[in-house]
């Protein structure tokens, strides 16, 4: 029976790898274990909680929903998609300048810049890619193109990864239990899939944000003391 079980298990693993081996690379890049330091950034969540703009499970969910549908996560997904859609480095450099211009505060620039630099460094060394230091969403999209990975899967997994990190930050800052945190992530998961489809054919004209309070939170955080996070 043990031998049969091993054969069945090995067949199952082989089926997964045969179906979509490159998907595991995307999961690897966007997992908490990938050394880009995402745990150090709250994307304004810390300031929003301190100001009372986020005070419970529902307000946190609404805040994150807005980021996906009308804010920075949506714009990042568009930048990922556009960077994925080109192999021309001048275009990538222009997208990187756009990513910097979209950052509403000094901390937002540092957040995307430092994580992007860390991502590029590790990915260059491990995957042997010609990947320059870029803002995180641009670096992700360009690296996925160079590695011939799936662009739509990348944007969906990226959105889910950012949401997971922000929910984890909220758990450290407010009364948010593990069950409630995971429930929020479950309820937001369909939005990540929808986002990946919506931005697949987007261009720069589709970039906008209605999440002004999120931008204000990132500015307020620059002078907030004490604080746990870098943004």
Query: Can you tell me the mean pLDDT for 75-89?
Result: 96
77 with 196: CB under 8 angstroms? yes
Model confidence at 8: pLDDT above 70 = no
Q: Nearest-CA neighbor of 165 among 217, 89, 209, 111?
A: 111
Does domain 42-216 fall under CATH 2.40.40.20? My reply is no
The reply to whether the predicted model has a pTM over 0.85 is yes
Give the pLDDT band of residue 19 (cuts 50, 70, 90). low
Q: From CA 114, how far away is CA 199, in angstroms rounded?
A: 25
Q: Which residue has the tokens 């995402």?
A: 38
Give the count of beta carbons closer than 10 Å to the beta carbon of residue 105: 18
Mean pLDDT of 1-5: 41
CA–CA separation, 227 vs 49, rounded Å? 11
């Amino acid at each position: 029976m043990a031998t049969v079980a091993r054969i069945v298990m090995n067949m199952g693993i082989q089926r997964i790898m045969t179906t979509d081996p490159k998907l595991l690379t995307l999961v690897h890049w966007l997992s908490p274990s990938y050394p880009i330091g995402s745990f150090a950034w709250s994307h304004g969540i810390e300031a929003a909680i301190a100001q009372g703009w986020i005070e419970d499970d529902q307000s946190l969910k609404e805040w994150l929903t807005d980021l996906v549908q009308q804010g920075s996560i949506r714009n990042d997904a568009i930048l990922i998609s556009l960077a994925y859609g080109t192999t021309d480095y001048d275009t990538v450099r222009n997208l990187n300048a756009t990513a910097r211009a979209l950052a509403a505060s000094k901390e937002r620039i540092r957040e995307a810049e430092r994580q992007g630099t860390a991502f590029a460094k590790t990915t260059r060394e491990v995957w042997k890619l010609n990947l320059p230091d870029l803002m995180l969403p641009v670096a992700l999209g360009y690296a996925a193109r160079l590695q011939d990975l799936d662009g739509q899967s990348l944007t969906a997994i990226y959105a889910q990864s950012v949401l997971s990190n922000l929910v984890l930050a909220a758990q450290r800052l407010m009364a948010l239990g593990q069950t409630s945190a995971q429930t929020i992530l479950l309820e937001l998961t369909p939005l990540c899939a929808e986002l990946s489809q919506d931005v697949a054919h987007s261009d720069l004209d589709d970039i906008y944000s209605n999440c002004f309070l999120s931008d204000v939170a990132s500015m307020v955080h620059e002078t907030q003391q004490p604080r746990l996070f870098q943004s």
